[in-house]
Amino acid sequence: MGCQIDAQSQEQTPQLQQSTVSVNDSITSSRETAITRAVDVATPAIVSINVIEVQQVVYQNPFSDFLQDPFFEQFFSHRQSKIIERHVQSLGSGFVISPDGYIVTNHHVAGNALKVTVSLSDGQTLDAELIGADIATDLALLKVSPEEPLDYLNFSTLPEPIVGEWAIALGNPFGLFEASEPSVTVGVVSAAERDLGSQDGRFFHDMIQTDAAINRGNSGGPLINALGEVIGVNTVIYSQTGGSVGLGFAVPGAKAQRIINELRENGKVDRSYYTGISFVEVTPRIAQALDLSDTRGMLIADVDSGSPAEEAGFLPYDLIVALENESIINQEDYIARLYDFRPGDLVVYHVLRNNRKVQLTLQIGRMDG
C-alpha cells in the first residue's frame, strides 16, 4: 500500500521551511555580540609583519680562559672577543590606520629593520618602508603602497579607556598565522595608567593593563574596544614563563596617536630637550642633611646661567616632586614625564624649597645641534 501525503501537509511544507530559516536566522543573530561585530570590523585591518634586522653580538673566543695567561695575553689579548653583526628574522603584528597604507607597530618589532614585509589578512604580501620609530614609547610607523585602498582602524576619541570595559587583542601570536586572519583574544581593561618602569631605553609609563591574552608575536597589534576603536597598542607582557598570564600592557591610544602623527610628519619625535637643570637623586643622607621627609623627588644641584630653568626661577637645592600634577619619584620617573612634552611646551613644576611648596612654569628649550 503506497504512502499518501495529505494535501494540507503539502501546503504547510513551505511554511515549515520558512519557519526553520527564520529560527536559524534568529539563532545566528543571537550569537552576534558587540565583540563579534568589533572583530568583524577590525580583522581586515590587522597585518603580520616580517622583519629582517641586524643584531650586534659579542663573540667570545672559546680559548679566552687559556689566553688569560700573561705570556699569551701579550700576543692574543686583542683577539679574545669581538663584535659581529648578523641578520636576524623576526615576526610581529600591526594594524592599518589609513586607506593609503600607513601601519602602526612596535619599535622593538620594526624599529631597526633592514627589510620589512607586511602580510594582509586577505593573503597579500607587500614590501613596507619604515617611516620612523620612537624607542622611548616603543612605537614605529610603516608605509605600504597598495593597489587599492585598505581597510583601516580609527583610534578612540575618548581620552581614557573605562576600567572593566571589553578589551579585544588582535594579532599574529608566535608567527603561526601569517597572511591569514588574526587571532582574537578577549578580556577587559584591568587598569589604566600603570607604570612598569623602563627597559633598554623604553619607558613603560601610563600603560593600559588588560587580561586579554597577549603572547610573543602579538606585539604591535591593536587593543580595541567593543566599538572596534583602537584604545591601545599591545606592547609588553609580564610573565615568568614567556607566555600570557593575564598581565598584558598596551601604549594608550591618545599617546600612540600623538607619536604616530609626529613620525608621519617628521620621521622622528623631537626629544632635543634643554632645561639647564643638573640633578642628583635624593639619598637618605641628603634627605637627612636637608631635613626632607623622604627620598622621593629630584634635587637640583645646579642651574645653568641664562637657561630656561633660570628664567623660570629654579634654584639649587629645590626639590622637584611633580610635573603637571604627576608625581616624580626618581630620575626614571622624571624622564618619562618629560617625554610627554616637546621643546617649546610650557610645563608646570611642583617643587619644595626649604620644605615649602612652590610652583614654577618652565618653557622647555631645545638642545643645540
Cα–Cα distance for residue pair 169/220, rounded to 1 Å? 10
Would you call 341 helix, strand, or coil by DSSP?
A: coil
State the pLDDT at residue 71: 53
Tens of pLDDT along 272-306?
Answer: 999 999 988 888 888 888 888 778 889 999 999 99
Cα–Cα distance for residue pair 337/28, rounded to 1 Å? 49
Cα–Cα distance for residue pair 241/236, rounded to 1 Å? 14
- Cα-Cα-Cα-Cα torsion 221, 195, 107, 238, nearest 10 degrees, comes to -60
| Catalytic choice (107, 108, 205, 350) | 108
Confidence label for 330 from pLDDT (cuts 50, 70 and 90): confident
Tens of pLDDT along 180-233?
Answer: 788 899 999 999 999 888 888 899 999 999 999 888 888 899 999 999 999 999
In which residue are the cell numbers 614563563 written? 241
Q: Is the pLDDT of residue 5 over 90?
A: no
Q: What is the mean pLDDT of residues 312-331?
A: 92
Confidence label for 11 from pLDDT (cuts 50, 70 and 90): low
Tens of pLDDT along 45-62?
Answer: 999 999 987 666 666 655
The model carries a pTM of 0.80
Lowest mean pLDDT among 62-71, 97-106, 121-130: 62-71
Q: Is 206 a catalytic residue?
A: no
Q: How far is CA 72 from CA 58, 59, 76, 82, in A?
A: 21, 19, 6, 18
E strand residue ranges, 112-153: 113-120, 125-134, 139-143
| Catalytic choice (90, 107, 138, 190) | 138
In the chain, which residue ranges form alpha helices assigned H by DSSP? Answer: 7-31, 34-42, 70-76, 107-110, 253-266, 284-289, 308-312, 331-338
Q: Is the pLDDT of residue 80 over 70?
A: no
Q: How far is CA 267 from CA 54, 112, 134, 216, 335, in A?
A: 21, 14, 9, 27, 22
CB 149 within 8 A of CB 100: yes
Q: Is 127 a catalytic residue?
A: no
| Catalytic choice (219, 318, 333, 350) | 219
* Cα torsion angle, 359, 363, 368, 369, sign: positive
Confidence label for 1 from pLDDT (cuts 50, 70 and 90): very low
107 or 87, higher pLDDT: 107
Q: Is 138 a catalytic residue?
A: yes
State the pLDDT at residue 177: 67
CB 268 within 8 A of CB 145: no
Cα–Cα distance for residue pair 200/138, rounded to 1 Å? 10
